[in-house]
Amino acid sequence: MAVCLVHINAQAIEIEYARADVDKNRYIVELELIIGASKNRVFSILTDYSNFHKLNDSFIESALLKRIDDTHNKIRLITESCLLLFCFNAVFVYFIEEIEGTQMIAQIDTVMSDFNFGDAHINLEKSGNNQTRVHFYTVLQPSFWVPPFIGPWLLKPRILEEVRETFERVEEFAQRS
């Protein structure tokens, strides 16, 4: 198992812990960070699925496909990523459960996505005055071929960077309102 531990101090958000691993073609990313915004505002931005594409420049499309009930949704996110000279789109379709304004649990729909496996967990808790502690954890297994030596070396830091950029944008949007 390849491991990459990173401690990052971002300008906007405070990242306390960041990790990206690859194990048997599964990409694992975990971050713990502090966002300078209220928990309710952060949750509201993260659950605005139709506008999720605004949270990262590599997110080219987002949509709420179906509101199943008050706490369960089906969403689609299409991303565009470039590694070296190779660019590709990836489709993520998730079933998301929202729990009491503090958690989101997402399971990938393997039939409609470009992934054989995927889940994500986001936990939010109040941290100080107008701050939110975010714990983010995801595991993704692409259904497309990733070169075994170069792919993990390039993808791990790229995925970690995309997640960091997304949470920086969440903070930016939260502070605008």
pTM of the model: 0.86
CATH fold of 2-176 reads: Alpha-D-Glucose-1,6-Bisphosphate; Chain A, domain 4 (3.30.530)
Please answer whether residues 58 and 120 qualify as being in contact, where contact means their C-beta atoms are separated by less than 8 angstroms.
no
Q: Which residues contact 112 (CB under 8 A, 6 or more apart)?
A: 76, 91, 93
Predicted confidence at residue 149, as pLDDT, reads: 66
pLDDT at 14 over 90: yes
Task: Count Cβ atoms within 10 A of the Cβ of residue 34 and give its class: 0-12 exposed, 13-18 middle, 19 or more buried.
Answer: middle
pLDDT digit string, tens, across residues 31-44: 999 999 999 999 99
Phi, psi of 151 (to 5 degrees): -55, -60
Sheet holding 26-35, edge to edge: 2-6, 14-23, 26-35, 132-142, 115-126, 103-108, 86-99, 72-83, 59-67
Predicted confidence at residue 3, as pLDDT, reads: 35
Amino acid at 62: S
pLDDT digit string, tens, across residues 49-100: 999 999 999 999 999 999 999 999 999 999 998 767 778 899 999 999 999 9
pLDDT at 161 over 60: yes
Give me the half-sphere count of Cα atoms (radius 13 Å) on the Cβ side of residue 139. 9
Report the alpha-carbon distance of residue 75 to residue 92 in Å, rounded: 8
